[in-house]
């Protein structure tokens, strides 16, 4: 069985989690069964040996997203690290489909870990803003898609990426700026059939043509020759930090890459960021009360946590406010203390909500301050086709 054939829904009677780039719905209240998903997708668990290896190479602790199992699955990270140790650098690729004016907390997860990887390994980063995808899937014009790209790029830049090492591009614009992008799309599209994308992504025949073609667009930046102005004519392996729902694109490319003379892309996958209503679904921008937006005020954050967040008294594993702390509270010891107190019944759910509010309000407020500094000129700087300094 090739990698493209993995991940299809099986025909067993047991209800399975739905995990596609557009739909995540777990079969059980406790959320997606990630052990099963790793098996179904044929990826590998991020285990102690891998964490140890990472820490040995970078000579510092891994990010808490990795230590706490938020990035729980990977593909070929061992191989990528071995090559790195032998002097073969990689590059980072992640992205965002700019479907709404303001991003929410869940959208930051891949960018936060990507920034950590960039700083730990001093490697270039390319960020795809798939505005073409959103124009095709949603009721958006091309012009609106590009505008949302710029607005979302502001939030990404506000996380503190280094402009000398980071290239952010809008698909709708970059396609017309760099011939190698389309050339790689054609090379990929020559290796994949409609049947295969139908199997991988669950397309139906009534789907728009653009949907059928999009997988090659998301896959192409994982071939380093898409960016000759960064990498010259050297082929580099890529590491893609992303939500596990994006894995199908790269499972497809991992079959194709060797046929085009490239190393397979390596990936590190995050678990889903839970909706306030519980881990059964992921946080979604389309439901105001399910998400904490980067534009929310302190009052809105309190309100959402107090009125909409799902609490599970005495059970951290199902408690949304606690889950938010695992993402955004950096202090491991304090988090451990909270976990023990809650699980043993010494801490009420009201107290837990308060802790989450106290953690998120300053995080969001600081983000908003940093975002104000991201002028049009700064965005322009990140989005200009240019050499990078690493």
* H-run or E-run covering 378: helix 376-383
Instruction: Examine residue 190 and tell whether it contacts a second copy (CB under 8 A).
Output: yes
* H-run or E-run covering 302: helix 298-308
290: DSSP letter: G
Instruction: Examine residue 83 and tell whether it contacts a second copy (CB under 8 A).
Output: no
Instruction: Examine residue 173 and tell whether it contacts a second copy (CB under 8 A).
Output: yes
Quick one: tokens of 282? 């992921």
Candidates 61, 79, 160, 210: give the one binding a second copy (CB under 8 A): 210
Minimum Å distance from CB 203 to a second copy? Answer: 7
Helix axes 247-256, 194-201, angle to 10 degrees: 150
Candidates 33, 151, 207, 351: give the one binding a second copy (CB under 8 A): 207
Stretch that binds a second copy, among 19-27, 50-58, 211-219, 359-367 (CB under 8 A): 211-219
Minimum Å distance from CB 172 to a second copy? Answer: 6
Instruction: Examine residue 364 and tell whether it contacts a second copy (CB under 8 A).
Output: no
**Cα(218)–Cα(204) distance, integer angstroms:** 19
Instruction: Examine residue 172 and tell whether it contacts a second copy (CB under 8 A).
Output: yes
**Cα(295)–Cα(104) distance, integer angstroms:** 8
Stretch that binds a second copy, among 22-30, 101-109, 169-177, 312-320 (CB under 8 A): 169-177
Residue with smaller CB distance to a second copy, 169 or 327: 169
* Closest residue by Cα to residue 293 from 226, 192, 363: 363
Candidates 42, 163, 213, 314: give the one binding a second copy (CB under 8 A): 213
Residue with smaller CB distance to a second copy, 6 or 140: 140
- 280 CB-contact burial (10 Å; exposed 0-12 / middle 13-18 / buried 19+): buried
Tell how far CA 220 is from the center of its chain: 17
Candidates 179, 258, 261, 362: give the one binding a second copy (CB under 8 A): 179
CA distances 336 to 134, 321, 325, Å, are 40, 14, 11
Instruction: Examine residue 215 and tell whether it contacts a second copy (CB under 8 A).
Output: yes
293: DSSP letter: B
Minimum Å distance from CB 215 to a second copy? Answer: 8
How big is the chain, counted in residues?
390
Minimum Å distance from CB 188 to a second copy? Answer: 8
| CB proximity list for 104: less than 8 A, separation 6 or greater | 283, 285, 291, 292, 293, 294
Instruction: Examine residue 197 and tell whether it contacts a second copy (CB under 8 A).
Output: yes
Candidates 209, 299, 344, 345: give the one binding a second copy (CB under 8 A): 209
190: DSSP letter: T
Candidates 176, 232, 261, 362: give the one binding a second copy (CB under 8 A): 176
**Cα(75)–Cα(73) distance, integer angstroms:** 7
- 243 CB-contact burial (10 Å; exposed 0-12 / middle 13-18 / buried 19+): buried
Residue with smaller CB distance to a second copy, 84 or 203: 203
Stretch that binds a second copy, among 78-86, 104-112, 130-138, 235-243 (CB under 8 A): 130-138
Q: Could you tell me how many residues of this chain bind a second copy (CB under 8 A)?
A: 40
Residue with smaller CB distance to a second copy, 84 or 229: 229
Instruction: Examine residue 192 and tell whether it contacts a second copy (CB under 8 A).
Output: yes
Report whether 286 contacts 280 (CB < 8 A).
no
Binding stretches for a second copy (CB under 8 A): 132, 135-136, 142, 171-173, 175-183, 186-198, 203, 205-210, 212-213, 215-216
């Amino acid at each position: 069985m090739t990698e493209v054939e993995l991940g299809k829904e099986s025909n067993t009677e047991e209800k399975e989690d739905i995990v596609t780039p557009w739909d995540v719905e777990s079969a059980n209240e406790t959320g997606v069964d990630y052990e099963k998903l790793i098996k179904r997708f044929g990826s590998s668990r991020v285990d102690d040996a891998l964490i140890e290896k990472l820490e040995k190479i970078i000579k510092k602790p891994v990010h808490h997203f990795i230590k706490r199992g938020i990035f729980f699955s990977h593909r070929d990270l061992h191989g990528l690290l071995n090559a790195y140790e032998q002097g073969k650098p990689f590059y980072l690729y992640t992205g965002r489909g700019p479907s709404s004016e303001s991003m929410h907390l869940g959208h930051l997860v891949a960018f936060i870990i990507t920034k950590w990887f960039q700083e730990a390994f001093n490697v270039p980063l390319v960020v795809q803003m798939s505005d073409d995808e959103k124009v095709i899937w949603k009721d958006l014009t091309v012009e609106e898609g590009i505008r949302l790209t710029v607005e979302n790029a502001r939030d990404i830049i506000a996380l503190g990426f280094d402009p000398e090492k980071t290239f952010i591009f809008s698909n709708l614009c970059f396609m017309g700026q760099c011939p190698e992008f389309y050339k790689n799309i054609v090379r990929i599209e020559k290796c994949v059939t409609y049947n295969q994308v139908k199997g991988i992504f669950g397309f139906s025949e009534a789907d728009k043509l653009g949907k059928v073609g999009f997988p090659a667009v998301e896959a192409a930046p994982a071939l380093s020759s898409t960016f000759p102005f960064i990498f010259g004519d050297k082929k580099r392996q890529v590491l893609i930090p992303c939500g596990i729902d994006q894995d199908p694109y790269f499972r497809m490319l991992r079959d194709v890459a060797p046929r085009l003379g490239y190393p397979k892309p390596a990936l590190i996958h995050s678990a889903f960021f839970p909706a306030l209503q519980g881990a059964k679904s992921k946080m979604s921008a389309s439901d105001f009360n399910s998400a904490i937006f980067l534009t929310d005020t302190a009052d809105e954050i309190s309100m959402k946590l107090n009125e909409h967040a799902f609490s599970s008294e005495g059970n951290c594993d199902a408690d949304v406010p606690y889950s938010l702390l695992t993402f955004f509270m950096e202090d491991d010891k304090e988090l451990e203390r909270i976990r023990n107190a809650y699980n043993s019944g010494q801490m009420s759910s009201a107290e837990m909500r308060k802790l989450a509010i106290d953690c998120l309000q300053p995080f969001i407020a600081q983000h908003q301050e940093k975002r104000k500094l991201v002028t049009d000129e700064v965005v322009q700087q990140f989005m200009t086709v240019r050499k990078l300094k690493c």
